[in-house]
Chains A and B, each alone.
Chain A
């Protein structure tokens, strides 16, 4: 399939990617169902975007930086973020590194080179450009990937970031995870131009890929990363997939769209991955079933384990506003507690 690996290496790499996709899918299903049971407050499902994220993740090196958005669970899982970190954040429990301050789906994993996630879309993009500038200034061998949805391409932040990255010729990949829906607005009403084509207007390189196919995405991402790493400037990847789930657990898509790609149908990224891996003789139905039940077991087990962790202590609310707590916040803390 590629010249990067010998056969055994390739098999291992592809199976690991598939394994991340499966774990993400099981994770997603678990959190959505836990939300329905009242055990989780909110969640932005990832279902349908596994191949996009894992495919791009496969092309990165350990030291590369990711400025992700709130739907990037598969990306994080494939880069080695333990699901405990994700679960603790979603539950906002006392072990959550951000002490339960953010709504679910706003992850933090600095140790794994992921930025902290904000809600306003595309606001991470200019930050990623600044990170890429720092890398270039220090002549470090790193690239930055920043991710966002199709709706984000309408924002001034997207425009500013694309322009600045191109003007300064920075080592950065803009990964547009085009899942075709920004809550209720379909992509054809979001923009009149195909997203990848916008790159040209900035002097960046643009490319479109089938984001439901992890191998196609990997191939395109690898070229993009090599290009950025070798000093040829930014790349905009439009990875087209489909948001199989709702925008969030608070949203009912039946109000504004008829069903598109459904779970288990032939365009489901997991179904495509299985087909590809079977063609390569890397996997059998028996192994698939085993991997799925193992992933489900891990997710169930970890969920129950993390659910037992008590919430953060009330006094932690006042920490981390500033490095040194101001006298004003000290007084307010005294009044509240």
Chain B
């Protein structure tokens, strides 16, 4: 078994390459994804290899990209639309919420939308208000959508391969801060990471930290550095999230916190807190805490204050451990 050192951009690029070569029905569409290879270079070289009819440079209209992709998916293609920045997805929101998410349900299963919508999300790249948002809760709140976010190159490939066989619309959120942050061994061969299954990034006994996307390496390094005996859960699939894995861990540790960069109120942290409050109250030794972005828009110059960081995480860890 051969493998290569790849960053997340390279891992996704090679997986898209694999998808296009293996299945004629796969098409990519998005702004600047062809000749330019995408603003983050995720689709570099694919148009030259597979042609402009399958790696489509789209006019600048998000609702058209998503709407067209849905129409393709309804007609036997496997479209992988890209929205250049997740912040720009909102003009396509009706297409996602009222079309993609509801077609299977409203047609009694006659129609379905096997589409993988890829989009970079999150802060940490000096993107300001409109190139930094984490909108996962909007999508997770919509019945019919499946929301995925990898936190490393290996998972990105395995989750994307599982997504290729999935028959419902997926919002594949790529944490852009991690695109080139680290390289790791990624097998050349095909492998799958199941949708809906979290991974235990690190085992521990004193508390459980539930997180995903760009926060995973941050939480991991904070915990390592400060020698906290924490169990870290990387959700990988945000919706449907792996309730069983969360519950098992929290029953063991008795303390839980959730870390994400999206705003706190009604974010995934709220959902997971409620989930734990409903079924793990007898096991909890401390209140469930959330370390998140604040309920403000995402500020450009002050992004370091906005994003969760080691200090905020350790402060919450201290609070959890000291609670009596």
Chain A residues in the interface with B (C-beta under 8 A): 65, 67, 96-99, 101-102, 106, 108, 110, 115-116, 118-120, 123, 125-135, 137-138, 156-157, 160-161, 163-164, 167, 319-323, 326-329
Is A160 in contact with B64, judged by CB distance below 8 angstroms? yes
Whether, in the assembled complex, B91 has its beta carbon less than 8 Å from a beta carbon of chain A, the answer is yes
Tell me whether A127 and B74 are in contact (CB under 8 A).
Answer: yes
Residues of B within 8 A of A123 (CB): 67, 94-95, 98-99
Q: Is the CB of B71 within 8 A of A134?
A: yes
When each residue 59-89 of chain B gets 1 if its CB lies under 8 Å from chain A and 0 otherwise, what string results?
1010110111111111111010000000000
Distance to closest chain B CB from A262 (angstroms): 35
Tell whether A321 pairs with B105 under 8 Å between CB atoms, given A97-B110, A126-B68, A328-B243: yes
Contacting residue for B67 out of A157, A319, A329, CB 8 A: A157
B61 touches A164 (CB 8 A): yes
Q: Which residues on B sit within 8 Å (CB–CB) of A329?
A: 143
B211 interface residue (CB < 8 Å to A): no
- A115/B108 contact (C-beta < 8 A), A125-B67, A322-B168 known: no
Partner of B64, one of A96, A101, A164, A328: A164
Contact of A321 with B143 in the complex, beta carbons under 8 Å: yes
B interface residues with partner A (beta carbon < 8 Å): 27, 53-54, 58-59, 61, 63-64, 66-77, 79, 91, 94-95, 98-99, 102-112, 143-144, 146, 167-168, 196, 240, 243-244
- Contact B70 A130, beta carbon cutoff 8 Å: yes
Q: Which of A108, A160, A323 contacts B107 (CB 8 A)?
A: A108
Residues of chain A with a CB closer than 8 A to B167's CB: 323
Closest Cβ of chain A: how far from B72's Cβ, in Å?
4
Residue of B nearest to A316 (CB): B108
Q: Is the CB of B59 within 8 A of A134?
A: no
Contact residues in A for B77 (Cβ distance below 8 Å): 134, 137
Q: B108 is contacted by which of A108, A128, A138 (Cβ under 8 Å)?
A: A108
Minimal Cβ-Cβ distance residue in A for B243: A327
- Listed A/B pairs (28) with beta-carbon separation below 8 Å: A97-B108, A98-B108, A101-B106, A102-B106, A108-B108, A108-B110, A110-B107, A110-B110, A118-B102, A123-B98, A123-B99, A125-B67, A126-B67, A127-B74, A129-B67, A133-B71, A134-B71, A134-B72, A134-B75, A156-B61, A156-B63, A160-B61, A164-B58, A164-B61, A167-B59, A321-B144, A327-B240, A328-B243
Residues of A within 8 A of B64 (CB): 126, 129, 160-161, 163-164
Kindly state the separation between the CA atoms of A80 and B76 in the bound complex, as whole angstroms: 24
Given contacts A134-B76, A137-B27, A319-B109, contact A126 B63 (CB under 8 A): yes
Q: Is the CB of A157 within 8 A of B146?
A: no
Inter-chain CB contacts under 8 Å: number: 141
Known: A120-B94, A134-B76, A321-B104. A129 touches B68 (CB 8 A): yes
Complex alpha-carbon distance, A233 and B121, angstroms:
36
Q: 3 closest A-B pairs (Cβ-Cβ)?
A: A130-B71, A126-B67, A160-B64
List 9 additional A-B contacts (Cβ < 8 Å) besides A123-B95, A322-B168, A327-B243.
A97-B110, A98-B108, A110-B107, A110-B111, A126-B66, A126-B68, A126-B95, A133-B71, A326-B196
- Shortest Cβ distance from A116 into B: residue: B107
Q: Which residue of A lies closest to B107 (CB)?
A: A116
- Chain B residues contacting A319 (CB-CB under 8 Å) are 109
Contact A97 B71 (CB under 8 A): no
Q: Is the CB of A101 within 8 A of B71?
A: no
Smallest CB gap from A110: residue in B: B110
The answer on a CB contact under 8 Å between B106 and A130 is no
Distance in angstroms from A174 CB to nearest chain B CB is: 14
Chain B residues near A160 (CB, 8 Å)? 61, 63-64, 67
Q: Are A130 and B108 in contact (CB under 8 A)?
A: no
Of the candidates B53, B110, B168, the one having the most CB atoms from chain A within 10 angstroms of its own CB is B110
Query: Whose C-beta in chain A lies nearest to the C-beta of B242?
Result: A327
Residues of B close to A130: CB separation below 8 A: 67-75, 79
- Chain B residues within 8 Å of A163, by CB: 59, 61, 64
B102 to chain A, nearest CB (A): 7
User: Which of B75, B91, B98 has the most chain A CB within a 10 Å cutoff?
Assistant: B75
CB of A323 within 8 A of CB of B75, answer no
Closest chain A CB from B235 CB (angstroms): 14
Q: Are A133 and B99 in contact (CB under 8 A)?
A: no
